[in-house]
Amino acid sequence: MSATLIDGKAVAEDVKKKVQENVTYLKTEYNITPGLATVLVGERPDSRVYVASKQKACADLGMNSYANTLPADISQSELLQVVQGLARDSNVHGILVQLPLPVHIDAETILGAIPIEKDVDGFSPLNVGRLSMKNREPMFVPCTPLGCIYLIESAGTKIEGANAVVLGRSNIVGLPMSFLLLHRNATITICHSRTRDLPSVTRDADILVAAIGKPKFVQADWVKPGATVIDVGINEIPDATKKSGKRLVGDVDFENVKEVAGAITPVPGGVGPMTIAMLMQNTLTAAQRAAGLIK
Give the active site residues.
Answer: 54, 98, 121
| CB distance 157 to 263 below 8 Å | yes
Chosen residue from 22, 65, 124, 144 binding ligand GUN by CB under 6 A: 144
Q: Is the dihedral of CA 122, 236, 69, 21 positive or negative?
A: negative
CB of 98 to ligand GUN, least distance (A): 5
Q: How many residues does the chain have?
A: 295
**Spatial separation of the C-alpha atoms in residues 51 and 159, rounded to whole Å:** 31
Taking CB under 6 A as the binding criterion, the range among 28-36, 97-105, 154-162, 207-215 that sits at the site for ligand GUN is: 97-105
Q: How many residues bind ligand GUN (CB under 6 A)?
A: 9
Residue 165: phi and psi, rounded to 5, are -115, 125
**Spatial separation of the C-alpha atoms in residues 80 and 110, rounded to whole Å:** 6
Residue 22 or residue 144: which is nearer to ligand GUN going by CB?
144
Residue 97 or residue 180: which is nearer to ligand GUN going by CB?
97
CB of 223 to ligand GUN, least distance (A): 25
Burial label for 90, CB within 10 Å (0-12, 13-18, 19+), is exposed
Chosen residue from 22, 55, 68, 98 binding ligand GUN by CB under 6 A: 98
Is 97 one of the binding residues for ligand GUN (CB under 6 A)? Answer: yes
Is 175 one of the binding residues for ligand GUN (CB under 6 A)? Answer: no
Chosen residue from 8, 15, 121, 207 binding ligand GUN by CB under 6 A: 121
CB of 233 to ligand GUN, least distance (A): 12
Is 119 one of the binding residues for ligand GUN (CB under 6 A)? Answer: no
* Helix (H), strand (E) at residue 97: strand 94-97
CB of 271 to ligand GUN, least distance (A): 11
Q: What share of the chain is helix, strand, coil (3-state, %, to 5)?
A: 40, 15, 40
Q: What are the helix (H) ranges across the chain?
A: 8-30, 45-61, 76-88, 107-112, 125-131, 143-154, 174-183, 198-202, 254-257, 271-290
**Spatial separation of the C-alpha atoms in residues 280 and 295, rounded to whole Å:** 17
Chosen residue from 70, 80, 87, 99 binding ligand GUN by CB under 6 A: 99
**Spatial separation of the C-alpha atoms in residues 42 and 80, rounded to whole Å:** 15
CB of 275 to ligand GUN, least distance (A): 6
Chosen residue from 110, 120, 167, 172 binding ligand GUN by CB under 6 A: 172
Residue 100 or residue 245: which is nearer to ligand GUN going by CB?
100
**Spatial separation of the C-alpha atoms in residues 251 and 270, rounded to whole Å:** 12
CA-wise closest residue to 226 among 208, 210, 209, 206? 206
Is 180 one of the binding residues for ligand GUN (CB under 6 A)? Answer: no
Chosen residue from 96, 110, 229, 271 binding ligand GUN by CB under 6 A: 96
Among residue numbers 229 through 288, which ones bind ligand GUN (CB under 6 A)?
275
CB of 144 to ligand GUN, least distance (A): 5
Residue 32 or residue 40: which is nearer to ligand GUN going by CB?
40
What letter represents residue 95's amino acid? I
Burial label for 268, CB within 10 Å (0-12, 13-18, 19+), is middle
Which residues form the interface with ligand GUN (CB under 6 A)? 96-99, 121, 143-144, 172, 275
